[in-house]
Amino acid sequence: MKYEQLAKDIIKNVGGKENVNSLTHCVTRLRFKLKDEKKANTDILKNMDGVVTVVQSGGQYQVVIGNHVPDVYADVAAVGGFAAAASEETTEEKVSILNRFIDMISGVFTPALGVMCATGMIKGFNSMFVALGWIDNTSGTYNILQAIGDCMFYFFPIFLGYTAAKKFKVNEFIGMGIGAALVYPALLGLTKGEPLFTLFSGTVIQSPVYVTFLGIPVILMNYSSTVIPIILAVFVGGKIEKVFKKIIPDVVKTFLVPFCTLIIAVPLTFIVIGPVATWAGQLIGSATLAIYNLSPVIEGIFVGAFWQVFVIFGLHWGLVPIMINNISVFGYDPVLAPMAGASFAQTGVVLAILLKTKNAKLKSIAFPAFISGIFGVTEPAIYGVTLPRKKPFILSCIGAAIGGGIVGFMGSKLYIMGGMGIFTIPSYMGKNGIDGGFYGAVISIVVSFVLGFLLMFIAGFKDDEAAQEAKKEVTETPLVKQEVLVSPIKGEVKPLSEIKDEAFSSGALGKGIAIEPVEGKVVAPVDGVLTTFFPTGHALGITSDSGAEILIHVGMDTVQLDGKHFTPKAKQGDIVKAGDVLLEFDINAIKSEGYSVITPVIVTNSAQYLDVIETDKKAINYNEDLLTVMI
């Protein structure tokens, strides 16, 4: 076995074969599911010859190898005696409760965020138009805009019923049915007049009962805009659905499974799940407000300073439901309001770097990062500019902390889940229109931006000009030969640093560039041989006639689709010409499954060359120059 010793070392440092639940591989990495990731020697593996890096993500312990991973996988499987993968249930038990909670929340809310922000922006701007006297709140214009702005939040249980069903692997229409029942208008009309009797009289959860279901008291509540009841209801509904799927004959499953699930899940939700979840939401809201009221300024400084850190680690998903819950329960949320200045502090730091740097490549990254930061999309700024240089990121957190303190001091509140960046401003406008809290948010944004800019401009940073000049000299030397790789994909060009996968973003797999596709087709970037075409179709490798090894990896973690939505148009071993169609894929279907389609194009043996120079185009078509390999 060619990689026998490497295989033995890998198995030893993932905690031994007894620590491995299952092992698979994709086009560049071994994907372990370990019983206990703490037993793995991550630092030793990262520094091991033959291992590029280690990525821990999605409950998988990923050892990045490179293009020859199938050979290493075969030897690891042989040495370890790994057979069929263990059941996923065994592995999932070892995932921490926090990680499982964050994964659940992000899976439920992420698909709805775009429309949620859009409708929130419309509602916010509508309130601003009334406050400025541009329209009247009795006009048709106002009411139609308000209908658009309110449509999602009012019927939130239906939207979340769909996304929660997808996350919990339940029939999506069952999830929507449960959500629609919760906001059925006629039920609210039953709460008029004298109640039949009162439950829990004299307690904080005293509840009048107006109707019964089969003699069982039903506590009717207003579930419009609520979050927790529908998520719990769909989770329980999924358990009920699984039971009936097992016992109902296939010939009548299509209608009997939804019938039995809904007729049990919906009454159960009204009788037990809904009231308990609503009370839980009220308690969570009261608890968070109590913490906030201890010192709004300190809470504001804390949230402002660490908001970007929360985003990096995905912890903000655990806080977003608190904000939405508070808006539902109280009509506002002051707890996460201090995050207003965080993106602007980051953007101010990037502007200072953009003005001071003489590094052309850094300028090319910083400028689009600055533009996107204005609109609240700070990932390009964080991952491409500030975080790799450490000090700029810390300074942005300081600016955001001061801005957060101002929000706490001024008592600013979020009244809607609105847009990001400059579009978040109307979210701070409530029934009183433009008041002190609104001005506090605006002041916070301005101060955060200015502080971030000044701190960075005064402190300065190491601008690697020497390396830039050396690179320039190499590219201008007439003795240097070059090979041009044309674009295999049509789409928006992005730096590798924007990819949320350390193996690609760090350049560990080689130099290259990323493309956000606008068309589901991959063509050959060079003349050469299709040396690797992964069975799932999501990734392929080409060796050019001059020896450059190119990896094209469509999307992130798309190996888990197991070939679904990918249609290969060539096969491994084919001799190809630049422009030949190699693969077709369904962009919308892949995205609907929850996967990113951003596609890295990597020269995996770039260490053998003088340099790999990326195009400066922002958008690119097939067969346009993408990468230049300096030989």
Provide the annotated active-site residues: 26
Evaluate whether 527 touches 544 at the Cβ level (below 8 Å).
yes
Count of beta carbons in the 10 Å neighbourhood of residue 35: 17
Count of beta carbons in the 10 Å neighbourhood of residue 341: 32
Q: Give CA–CA dist 119/121, Å, rounded.
A: 5
| DSSP H or E run through 21 | strand 20-25
Provide the phi-psi class of 510: left if phi over 0, else alpha when psi is between -120 and 50, else beta: left
Nearest alpha-carbon partner for 79 in 168, 171, 8: 8
Q: Give CA–CA dist 551/44, Å, rounded.
A: 26
Question: What six digits make up the tokens of 581?
Answer: 């169609």
Q: Give CA–CA dist 601/581, Å, rounded.
A: 16
Radius of gyration of the chain (CA): 28
| DSSP H or E run through 517 | strand 511-517
Q: Please, what's the b/e burial string for 360-376 (b: 16 or more CB within 10 A of its CB; e: otherwise)?
A: ebbeebbebbbebbbeb
Question: What six digits make up the tokens of 469?
Answer: 């000049």
Nearest alpha-carbon partner for 410 in 426, 434, 394, 431: 434
Sheet containing 575-576: give its strands across.
575-576, 528-533, 539-544, 549-553, 599-603, 511-517, 491-494, 619-620
At 92 the three-state DSSP class reads helix
Evaluate whether 594 touches 167 at the Cβ level (below 8 Å).
no
Nearest alpha-carbon partner for 484 in 430, 428, 525, 535: 525
- What does the chain come to in residues? 631
Write the DSSP string, 5-53: HHHHHHHHHTT-GGGEEEEEE-SSEEEEEES-GGGS-HHHHHTSTT--E
Instruction: Report, in this order, helix, strand and coil percent for the chain, each rounded to 5.
Output: 55, 15, 30
Q: Which amino acid is at 399?
A: G
Evaluate whether 340 touches 407 at the Cβ level (below 8 Å).
yes
Question: What six digits make up the tokens of 38?
Answer: 């703490």
Backbone angles phi, psi at 63, to 5 degrees: -100, 110
Evaluate whether 81 touches 568 at the Cβ level (below 8 Å).
no
Backbone angles phi, psi at 563, to 5 degrees: 90, -10
Evaluate whether 631 touches 610 at the Cβ level (below 8 Å).
yes
